[in-house]
Amino acid sequence: MHDLVKLAKKAVERYTQSREIIAAPAHAGLEMRERAGVFVSLKIKGELRGCIGTFEPSSEDIAHEIIQNAVSAASRDPRFSPVSVEELDDVTYSVDVLTAPEKISGTTELDPKKYGVIVKSGRRRGLLLPDLEGVDSVEDQVQIAATKAGITMDDKIELYRFEVKRYR
């Protein structure tokens, strides 16, 4: 298990068991000291159990971003009840570190296996990570991201793409 994933797991376990937020590692490697948007996904038996992230960095470094988003994925994803202590042994984790979003002119510049997408309309933004099971077309990818933000295809939209480094 990669160090970034170990940090997410430790954050979720400590918070779920005692409601404590762990400290970032004192001697974190360079990878954890950089700044980036981060998504933490939790699954149980292959089914999504929580996923929370940040489009762009909101903390001082990736380590803090992981801790914050891991706790939120386990306890504040509005689609799920909080993860229970009894579930901890069954949770699998992935951490996606995002590159900076790049504005694109249209869907021809997307590839759902390589790029994630942000669909923006006014203040609403919907994001979908790349290389997700069941999302095989650009159209599906854009539609799902838009729907997450309450954006319809009749709205004027802007598209952004990004890449991720996925850790499991």
Percent of the chain with pLDDT over 90: 95
Distance of alpha carbon 41 from alpha carbon 86, whole angstroms: 18
Residue 153 has pLDDT above 90, yes or no: no
Domain 3-98 has CATH 3.30.465.10: no
- The residue extents of the domains of the chain are 3-98, 102-167
What is the DSSP annotation of the chain? Answer: --HHHHHHHHHHHHHHHH-PPPPPPTT--HHHHS---EEEEEEETTEEEEEEE-SS--SSSHHHHHHHHHHHHHHT-TTSPPPPGGGGGGEEEEEEEEPPPEEESSGGG--TTT-EEEEEETTEEEEE-SS-TT--SHHHHHHHHHHHTT--TTS--EEEEE-EEEE-
Report the pLDDT averaged over residues 69-91.
Answer: 97
Q: What average pLDDT score do residues 132-153 get?
A: 94
CATH class of domain segment(s) 102-167: alpha beta
Would you say residue 19 has pLDDT above 90?
Answer: yes
pLDDT at 145 over 90: yes
Residue 108: per-residue pLDDT: 97
pLDDT in tens, 25-77: 988 787 899 999 999 999 999 999 999 999 899 999 999 999 999 999 999 99
User: pLDDT, tens digit, for every residue of 115-130?
Assistant: 999 999 999 999 999 9
What pLDDT is attached to residue 26? 86
Per-residue pLDDT tens digits for 93-118:
999 999 999 999 999 999 999 999 99
